[in-house]
Structure 1
Amino acid sequence: MYSRRQLLLAGGGLGVAVLAGGLLKQLDLVSDADAAETFEVNHTDAEWRSLLTAEQYAILREEGTERPYSSTLNDEHRAGLFACAGCALPLFSSSTKFNSHTGWPSFWQPLDNAVASHTDTSYGVVRKEIHCRRCGGHQGHVFDDGPQPTGLRYCMNGAAMTFTAA
């Protein structure tokens, strides 16, 4: 049997959650369109697991994050293209890569029509998650503390990408 206090606290918590969700939608920080996105490249979960390494699967399909400074692409400085490890779509040019000193490959701009985004409210903060627009593979997040000309920092997981030298 629940006490009156437990019921009031549970009801109050539910009310706060509903109000917070409504406020985020009203401020256009969360949209219903985020969940309805479809992609050109689709595979079953079993197919994705067979196509990707365990680390790639954890990042691309489960929105994981690699350890900082663990990717060889963080130190990749040759001219070329960074592509999605899930579907090979080119995402970033090396000409927009910079050293953010965060431990992840960072870029100030993606290639045209390469990435899409949705609102990520995990960990109690509102962030913009970046994914491949063709297969939906999670790449990382974008922040507004990057260099000019965009002022953006696309902080990407190296394991979610491949590199092809020019």
Structure 2
Amino acid sequence: MELDDFLLSEACDDDALSVDEAHGFLTALIVGPEPVASEAWLRAVWGEPRFADEEQAKQMTDKLVRLYDNIEATLREGHPFEPLVVEEEEEGETFEAYEGWCFGFMLGVEEQEAQWNPLPKDPQALLAPMGQLALLTSDEEEPDMDEAEYEAWVELLPGAVAGLYAFWHRDM
């Protein structure tokens, strides 16, 4: 994916998000209580990129804005939501990895922490799948999670996103 290659390239800051992390981050901002200006979320996703030229700047910005718009339209129109996942290979086996998306989502929640704080306890439980899977990206102590538990958390992601969106946007 061209956008992911750019985000992971030397052109972006070291702490730029990968495309799955960016998708999760943008999802949290869209789902969340208050809109965020595009300049702010663009900077949060890729820092201060060094584009080769104006054409590349326009092309990559358009791709990222389209990603945001697609997530927003999916949620607004009530279509089934699916997190963007990456395939990883370990010991010759390919599997889908959701923890990057969840890490990005939790970064988005953290970005607006003060606005998310009033979230009541029941809707707060909707953050559990993202929080649990995001822990798998930690360099600290790796959580003990077997494959069945991992899959159970993954199955909750679409409903959790839809539930949070419905909570924060119920008056729209």
Give me the TM-score of the superposition, normalised by structure 1: 0.25
Larger radius of gyration, structure 1 or 2? 1
Structure with bigger strand share is 1
Structure with bigger helix share is 2
Give me the TM-score of the superposition, normalised by structure 2: 0.24
The structure with higher relative contact order (CA 8 Å, sep 6+) is 2
